[in-house]
Amino acid sequence: MKFSMNPSRDVSLRNDMVARELTGTGYEPVPEEIRRIAPIEKAREYARQAPQASQAVSEQPALDFVEEPQAMQIKPEQDALQTAALKTIDFEARKDKQGNVQVYKLPAGDMGGNFEVAGINDKYHPDAFKRISSLPAQERAQAAAQYVKEYTSPFVSKLPEAVQPFAQDLAFNRGMGGATKYIQQGLNTLGQKVAIDGGLGPKTLQAINQVEPKALMRAASQAQLEDEYRMAQRNPARKKFINGLESRIRNRLALFGA
């Protein structure tokens, strides 16, 4: 005879009724600690070894327990912006041989302070830098990504979902005011007449919703690239960073603009 038993459900009452019907004695459940650590075959073996179960086996047909399929455990999807922020950390961070984020000294002319961890420097983000750099190396990436997400949230949360990962990376790379200006420049390129003032006001938000997200991300990327070259021309100390900045812009667009 076959009875279906799902160890994740409370079936003691049903089993007691079945056992009394077949053997005249009550059902002795397998202890919880055994059920937790042993598969159903082990539970059945335990039942055979119990005195009452042994008697029942000798007098009655063996009970063949068939385990019911367990409900599929579905993990909640990871936060898309946290995942995007981890990509930003990959862009920004220097890592050791084990792949852990390092704290490193900034080169002369960087203008971001003296030290940095995953793009978080001690000049513009002193508290976050101190906290994250003091963590064990293997914990820094997740902490830095969480900071990127929280720091840019006032800006990113106002934007359409399709451009949020791109805008999050852009805002962390060039500040929220700078990111807004590049988006505004891109909007004007796409025929939307908005002031380039770095303020994410109603007119800018309305214009953003009037254009195709991919086109806006391409136009904003082009606006930043042109601005980086202009700044390098005005300040020769920035020229040594221009190749890295261009790669950074193109990588962002390739990853988040597709």
pLDDT along the chain (258 residues), means of 10: 45 56 55 49 52 45 42 52 95 92 84 87 93 96 96 96 97 95 98 96 97 97 96 90 92 92
The predicted structure's pLDDT at residue 258: 77
Please give the model's pTM, rounded to 2 decimal places.
Answer: 0.67
* Domain extents in the chain: 2-67, 80-153, 158-258
The predicted structure's pLDDT at residue 28: 56
User: Three-state secondary structure along the chain?
Assistant: CEEEECCCCCCHHHHHHHHHHHHCCCCCCCCHHHHHHCCHHHHHHHHHHCHHHHHHHHHCCCCEEEECCCCCCCCCCCCHHHHHHHHHHHHHCCECCCCCECEEECCCCCCCCCEEECCEECCCCHHHHHHHHCCCHHHHHHHHHHHHHHHHHHHHCCCCHHHHHHHHHHHHHHHHHHHHHHHHHHHHHCCCCCCCCCCCCHHHHHHHCCCCHHHHHHHHHHHHHHHHHHHHHHCHHHHHHHHHHHHHHHHHHHHHCC
The predicted structure's pLDDT at residue 23: 56
